[in-house]
Amino acid sequence: MGGTNYRSFGRRGGAFMLGDVIELTSNLWVVVGDLPADIPNAVVYRQDDRLYLMDTGAGPTIRASIIQVLQKMGPVQSFTLLNSHAHVDHVSNNDVIHMTQASETYHYLSEAGLALLDPVSSFADQFCWLSTYYDPAKGFQAHRVRWRFLGALRDILTVFIGERRALRMVFSIYLRKFQPLRPSLETIRTYESSPSQSLAIAGVPWKGWVLGENDVWVLEARGHSPDEVLFYLPQHRMLYTGDLTFPLFPTFPNSDGMRTRDVLRNCNAMADAGAISLLVDGHHHQVYRGKQEVVAFLGTLLTEHEHFQAVLRKILEEHDGLTVSEVYFHLRQLQEDPVVQHYLSLEFPHLPMPLQQIIAVSLVQMGYETKGPRRKKRFYRPSRMSN
């Protein structure tokens, strides 16, 4: 899968840096994000006197570039900010909506994302869930001293204030890298404030909304997060997938792996029918152009995911009743498997999360049952548990 090697937008070879602005067409731009800093790309699209911004990233560098692009656009009739979902790395610069030269401004986020706009609380909830199955602080194979320290701090604080409040304090420290957090709560209107429509692209059915004069189609996804949407630009047959095409999934406890697979298959069907000429996402430094590249990219995501789940099943068939760390140990013995090798190469610090997180969420969603104390749960095949 080519995206993780940071191949450049629009040209082969040279790499772009955080905040670079890449012109895809005369009215379509990508503002480049960065991994492992976990800053996603943003997309700017102008159609006549209507200007659209899809996601805003986090931090001052991409913020300055977004503002520069918006100012270069000059006065417009309307400016619309669209968030693909409410994760902190996609919404922290939302207040750029106040810096546009527009007679009318609009800002949309899915209703399910409103609760996620408190990232400290949201992450505390998700890591409380993960802590049911394994110790997340011990899942990081890199920077172990730092993560062990955070784990020890969490445990000390837990004695006095409880685990959830302790995790809130830990994530207050961790999330400083995204500050200042400016999600612009006062400007948000939910997509669901208007009735959704039944839509079809190349015969592929969707539920969603059409904005402007058929400018942007907002497509419900709900896989990577409960509020996730995709953006389709009919003029360019461009699909912006946000974090749907994040290579490791299901990523978080509130991710839906089955839904992600279904939506990826729908996107693949669209591409195979010729309805996607350009595909951009949140965390790859590449635009996928044309049917062959897009189908190959989406197909690889699905194939590798399905293979990885098959590997997990095989490990638990051969060693029933393993902890997450033991499953990870057995995975590391299979590095001759190209998919396993690829997944191991993607985990923290190359991507924000460790592979043990993906293992825990995957096994629960695959239907494995657990037994044992908190943070040390053992995963069993359902038939074993029922005996």
Is residue 337 assigned to a domain?
no
Model confidence, pTM:
0.94
Is residue 370 assigned to a domain?
no
Rounded Cα distance, 66 and 144, in Å: 35
Q: In this predicted structure, what is the pLDDT of residue 174?
A: 87
- The strand pairing partners of 47, in sequence order, are 50
Residue whose pair of structure tokens reads 């049917």 in the numeric block: 291
Q: In this predicted structure, what is the pLDDT of residue 387?
A: 42
- Which residues of the chain, if any, have pLDDT below 50? 1-13, 386-387
Is residue 147 assigned to a domain?
no
Q: In this predicted structure, what is the pLDDT of residue 313?
A: 97
* Single-letter amino acid code for the residue at 208: G
Are 130 and 123 spatial neighbours (Cβ–Cβ below 8 Å)? no
Is residue 124 assigned to a domain?
no
Task: Encode pLDDT of 283-308 as tens digits.
Answer: 999 999 999 999 999 999 999 999 99
Task: Encode pLDDT of 89-103 as tens digits.
Answer: 999 999 999 999 999
DSSP for 266-300, written as a single string: HHHHHHHTT--SEEE-SS-S--EEHHHHHHHHHHH
Rounded Cα distance, 167 and 350, in Å: 23
Rounded Cα distance, 49 and 77, in Å: 5
Is residue 184 assigned to a domain?
yes
The 10 Å CB-count burial string (b at 16+, else e) for 67-91 is eebbeebeebebbbbbbbbbbbbbb
Q: What is the CATH number of the domain that holds 292?
A: 3.60.15.10
Rounded Cα distance, 355 and 139, in Å: 8
Q: In this predicted structure, what is the pLDDT of residue 14?
A: 59
Rounded Cα distance, 287 and 236, in Å: 13
Q: In this predicted structure, what is the pLDDT of residue 83?
A: 98
Structural domains in the chain (count): 1
Rounded Cα distance, 380 and 316, in Å: 7
Is residue 341 assigned to a domain?
no
Helices (H), 162-235: 163-174
Rounded Cα distance, 309 and 222, in Å: 21
Q: In this predicted structure, what is the pLDDT of residue 382?
A: 83
Structure tokens at 171: 């994530």
**Full residue range of the structural domain in which residue 197 is found:** 2-117+179-301
Is residue 39 assigned to a domain?
yes
SS (H, E, C) 7-45: CCCCCCCCCCCCCCEEEEECCEEEECCECCCCECCEEEE
Length of the chain: 387
Is residue 41 assigned to a domain?
yes
Are 76 and 63 spatial neighbours (Cβ–Cβ below 8 Å)? no
Task: Encode pLDDT of 228-280 as tens digits.
Answer: 999 999 999 999 999 999 999 999 999 999 999 999 999 999 999 999 999 99
* Single-letter amino acid code for the residue at 272: D
- The strand pairing partners of 104, in sequence order, are 78
